[in-house]
Every structure is written in C-alpha cells, then in structure tokens.
Amino acid sequence: MQRYIDESAAFLKDRGFGEPEVGIILGTGLGKILEEVEIQSEMSYNHIPNFPTATVEFHHGKLIFGTLSGKKVILMQGRFHVYEGYTLRDVTFPVRVMHALGVKKLLVSNAAGAVNLDFKKGEIMLIDDHINLQGGSPLAFRGVEKMGERFVDMSAPYDRDMNMLLEKIASENDINLHKGVYASVVGPQLETRAEYRYLKIIGADAVGMSTVPEVIVANHLNLPVAAVSVLTDECDPDNLQPVNIQEIITMANKAEPEMITLFSELIKQL
C-alpha cells in the first residue's frame, strides 16, 4: 500500500500540490470555504493515480491546493463513503496521501443527525469522541504494522489543543458550538426510530456516515485531527419526520458561515 500512497503523492507534487501544512475534508454541503481559498492547483479524483473514483453526484470530487488564512492547505471537496461501495481502506486512502504530502494537521467536517435533542438542526457540534458502528476498521489489513502501530491508542482521538482553540474561537465569535460524541454508521439508509433510541442509550450525540474511518487513520499516522459536525436533522424517535437529503444539504449550507469562521480562524492560529 505504501507504494500506491507514494505514487499518488509524487503525482500530486509534480502538479503543484507542494508542501501543504493542513489537510481539510469537506462534508456534504460544506464547500463554500473554497471561496476563502486562494487556489493554486486542483485535480479531480478520477485523474489521481490509485484514488478511488468519485461516484456521488453532489460530491464534486476533487483535491484542491491553495492558501487559506496564510497557510498552505489541501482540501478534499467531497469524500468517499462506505455506502458508495468503497472499502474502509479506499475511504481513508486520501488521508494517507495528504499525510505523505506533508500535512501536519487534519480538519474534518460532516453533516450529521442530532441524537441529543438539546441540539437543534442548523447548529454545529465539535466532535469530542466517537463510536465506530461501521462494522470494520480501516486498519484491519495485512502489513498495517509496517506502516505504524497496529493497536492504535484511541484514548483521545481528537486533538485536545485544536479542540480547545476551536472552543475559544467559537466563544469569541458568538458561535454556539456544542460538544459531543459522534457515532458513525454505514448508511446509506437513515436510522429507524429503534436505532435512534439505541444510539442515544449508547451515548451518541450525533450520527452520520463518515469521519470515523478518517480519524482512525489520522491517529494511525499520529496526525492531529479535529472534526466538526453540522447538525442537519433532529433524530427524535418519538416524533420522527421523514428526512430528505435535500433538506440535509440545505441545513448544512445554513451552518456554513460558522464552519468557515471556525476553520479559517483555527488555521490562522495553528
């Protein structure tokens, strides 16, 4: 696998993706931060050797290199999900490539449902911890021990310093930033009422279909990571409304300005 990672990284380096400091994975409906980026290079996932190919239409599916808040950043516009048929190794391959290109920090965003009913749609949540319900690990492959520690410590998977900074930035900018536990499921179906009850009982505050695999791999790489969820729907099992994906995207768009403030200020202060 290392050979494939190095090959992808070398390809990107040759095409102007030089020495990024921060990697950013943009969640569904969270692409507007690109307006703040001075873009130097971009490359569709389909054109990068060894990258999984982009399938979901509302993901533009490209890697972008540029400057944000005075720092060199590499952004993933659109990510890969297990529900699209990719393996956990496919889904996390770009994280390994960004690391090979030199990123020192990883920021992740996603759209998620609010399981904690004190949290409302359109609000945002800093991920403090997670529960992996994807039924597998991106580290469960032969040879993983050659690439780092196999039994990766998960006692603090989200970087404490970045989380503290994000909370400070939120309070300075009047952003109501919740903090909680993100549970990651495969999807693509949404949850049943019984599943939302279960998620609440096991301690989840939010549920989504991404992020946890990437965070596990970041920890494998000793790459400090922070992640923020935009809450797009309220998962009240006793009053469950049918969700539609368009509404999820609309809600994510609504919270975008706050996400942009958090990420761009954080990058400035790193």
The angle, 0 to 180 degrees and rounded to 10, between the axes of the packed helices 245-269 and 160-172 is 100
| Pairwise CA distance, residues 92 & 72, whole Å | 21
The least CB distance from residue 197 to ligand HPA, in Å, is 13
Binding test (CB under 6 A) with ligand HPA, winner from 232, 253, 261, 264: 232
Pairing of strands 225-234, 206-208: unpaired
Contact by Cβ (8 Å): 106, 162: no
- For ligand HPA, what does the binding mask look like between residues 156 and 195, x meaning CB under 6 A? -------------------------------x--xx----
Nearest partner of 166 among 179, 154, 180, judged by Cα: 179
Binding test (CB under 6 A) with ligand HPA, winner from 217, 248, 266, 267: 248
Binding test (CB under 6 A) with ligand HPA, winner from 91, 101, 112, 204: 112
Q: Which stretch binds ligand HPA (CB under 6 A): 134-142, 154-162, 207-215, 259-267?
A: 207-215
| Other beta carbons less than 10 A from residue 5's beta carbon | 20
Query: Cβ closer to ligand HPA: 42 or 191?
Result: 191
- For ligand HPA, what does the binding mask look like between residues 61 and 100, x meaning CB under 6 A? ----------------------------------------
| Pairwise CA distance, residues 183 & 215, whole Å | 12
The least CB distance from residue 79 to ligand HPA, in Å, is 13
Contacts of 210 (CB under 8 A, 6+ apart): 27, 79, 81, 91, 110, 184
Query: Cβ closer to ligand HPA: 119 or 158?
Result: 119
For ligand HPA (CB under 6 A), the number of binding residues is: 13
**What are the percentages of helix, strand and coil residues in the chain, rounded to 5?**
35, 25, 40
| Pairwise CA distance, residues 64 & 44, whole Å | 9
The least CB distance from residue 18 to ligand HPA, in Å, is 35
Check residue 235 for interaction with ligand HPA (CB under 6 A): yes
Binding test (CB under 6 A) with ligand HPA, winner from 159, 233, 256, 265: 233
One-letter identity of residue 94: P
Binding site for ligand HPA (CB under 6 A): 111-113, 187, 190-191, 207-209, 232-233, 235, 248
